């Protein structure tokens, strides 16, 4: 399993868990006190994808209402293709959590089981401060975690996860495009 974080400025705004040939990207957002925003967000995502020439199917899945999408992408050879993804979401008290499942987990339900469990087990701590609805909730790494940019070797030591792991190398990355 690999955990990747996405940074906007100095803030971590998304986390992606990669497991074999599947991944789930998690993002948390502020939401209004009185109502959820997942229904509205689903409509906006669907509209955006169909305007790009993609195909959307809204269905009730194991995590509630979700969007199953074929998103248009450009293939390495320059031709057009589609990538299959699933958008899942849940409304909480003053927060909203969105997940985007890609790879085999978006195509084969049995490949998505662990990713769906990661989504279910995610804990959102919004904080008490005022936030505008849809503002990203900044993610925080553990105090002893180290950020390592891609293609940079990490030095041994300094982390509780170091030691005995130096022999592991980044494996092949697979993106399914249809």
Q: Residues 72-98: pLDDT tens digits?
A: 988 888 888 899 999 999 999 999 999
User: Can you tell me which residue has the tokens 């991944």?
Assistant: 23
pTM for the full predicted model: 0.78
CB 126 within 8 A of CB 137: yes
pLDDT of 169 above 70 = no
Q: Residues 106-116: pLDDT tens digits?
A: 998 788 999 99
Distance CA 116, CA 88 (A): 9
The residue that leads in pLDDT, 119 or 168, is: 119
Class of domain 2-121: alpha beta
Position 153 scores a pLDDT of 52
Q: Where are the domains of the chain?
A: 2-121
Range of lowest pLDDT (16-20, 37-41, 125-129, 147-151): 147-151
CB 117 within 8 A of CB 111: no
């Amino acid at each position: 399993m690999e955990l990747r974080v996405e940074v906007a400025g100095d803030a971590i705004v998304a986390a992606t868990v990669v497991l074999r040939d599947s991944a789930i990207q998690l993002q948390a957002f502020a939401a209004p006190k009185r109502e959820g925003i997942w229904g509205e967000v689903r409509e906006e995502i669907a509209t955006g994808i169909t305007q790009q020439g993609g195909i959307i199917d809204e269905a009730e899945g194991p995590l509630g209402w979700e969007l199953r999408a074929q998103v248009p992408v450009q293939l390495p050879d320059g031709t057009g293709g589609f990538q299959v993804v699933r958008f899942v979401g849940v409304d909480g008290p003053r927060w909203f959590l969105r997940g985007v499942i890609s790879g085999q987990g978006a195509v084969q339900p049995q490949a998505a089981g662990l990713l769906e469990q990661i989504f279910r087990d995610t804990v959102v701590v919004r904080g008490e401060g005022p936030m505008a609805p849809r503002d990203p909730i900044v993610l925080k790494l553990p105090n002893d975690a180290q950020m390592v940019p891609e293609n940079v070797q990490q030095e041994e030591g300094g982390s509780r996860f170091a030691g005995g792991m130096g022999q592991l190398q980044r494996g092949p990355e697979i993106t399914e495009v249809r």
